[in-house]
Chains A and B, each alone.
Chain A
Amino acid sequence: MSWLRRLLRTPEGAAGFVILLVLLSAGLLAPVISPGDPLKIAGRALLAPFTDPAFPLGTDRLGRDVLAGLLYGARTSLAVGMAAAFAAMVLGLCVGLAAGFAGGLIDEALMRVVDAFQIVPAFLLALAFVSTIGVSTPVVVLAIALGTWADPARLTRAEVLAIREQDYVASARVIGMHPAEIAFREILPNALPPVLALSATIVAGAILTEAALSFLGLGNPNIATWGSMIAEGRSVLRSASYLSVIPGASLAVTVLGVHLFSEGLGKALGDDGVRAA
């Protein structure tokens, strides 16, 4: 785990790691800290934060516990964010690998499809998708993934094209390696790092998109999400602004944590790459 040590030595990596660790723990310990359904009415409505020890962050319009919503919302954001990013990366890697390796007409056709998905704004696509198919969590994950897979696909293909021309691939071909074996043993491991570097941006984007979708009322209504909490707080913006400010700040901190973590990771792995070269 030497990369972990290197990561923690950079200020960005350490800060990002701590933030993400706190969030992960918050999400995992949610049922312990705030047992029960976060969407249930727990107490008096519109209790301000830091007034009642039973509700450290106050309650919303309907009397729901803000802290519970925050903790369960962390689960949603992280789970959806990572799942969507994973799906986008896998899809992007497959398409990019296929296009770069196959070349010719297949490459052209696949690239037009990638173009199409890059041209339609990701949020608009997710909006259209969720509004027609439904608001369940898997659908939201798929919707976000559909809007973001195009960039990893393009990057993978560029990497594959560059690597294909390298001498070690040519020598693999000369000694008679099967094309599929070449693709997976020689090309993919070398194409992976720059694409993986993209994954943090995608996770961050996915978290924000999920929040925006649930803000507009297009998320799963049966689970706690930070976006829906912000939307709920809109109607009492003047009197109880904390209802929107707290979940939004959590969103910002989460995304910041992801960015910091990826910067630190980039630095930690970057040194490694130089040595290996």
Chain B
Amino acid sequence: MSGIFLSLRQLSVTYGRGSSGAAALDDIDLDIVAGERLAIIGESGSGKSTLARAIAGLLPEGATVRGEILWPGLGHPTRAGRDFGFVFQDPGSSLNPVLTIGEQIAEGARRHLGLSWKQAYVRAEELLERVRIPQPDKAMRAFPHQLSGGQRQRVAIAAAIAARPALLIADEATSALDVVVQAEIVRLLDGLVREDGMTLLFITHDIALASGFVDRIAVFRNARLVEAGSVRSVLSAPKSDYTAALIASHRDLATPPLIVEVTS
């Protein structure tokens, strides 16, 4: 049951031509177990988003890919939407402003599950209920601009899993949302993934947010994989100084202040 779902072998991605290209990913070796929840942690420029896009085949033109992306869990070339779903960072721009919510969820189901439009719309409404959108029947006919940011992200998640993919990739899916909403979305993702037995790739810069619910963490820095391991082992005994620094610089209300006031 728990075999390797996805395997990255010496994966490298460069933007730009020839030697002048900047390496966005450098020689990555990583295995993703079927059914696990893996967090990719990194700061800007670490290559985490590039990794997500490379796996999904959504890299921009002019990107050179070397190395291998193997899908032992699938046994056939990967199909977007059917084998994996992708949720983007900005819910405001992921959804097409002129089409209804219902259509944007149903189109994935129709394309990959062989459903008629009517059947696809029924499934879409069910999905809206699963992602806890209030009044799903009304929401089906609503347009993206009528929803809040958090609701739009729920819709995007519903659309991403509409065709029952085995893998869900969430690329900074919570980074553009308010803190309270972030926690809700994380809870939602966790619940969905457990219920459907999906594998989850959760990309974020927030190590604390991810550690709260994932099984494993992989830390990236400057296009390289720094370390990977279970949450407990990475947090308690980080093998690299960088990981230790990431953990240490996490700030919450218990952390002492950075700037000490000078009493005159």
- The answer to whether any beta carbons of A and B sit under 8 Å apart in the complex is no
State the B residues within 8 Å of A (CB): none
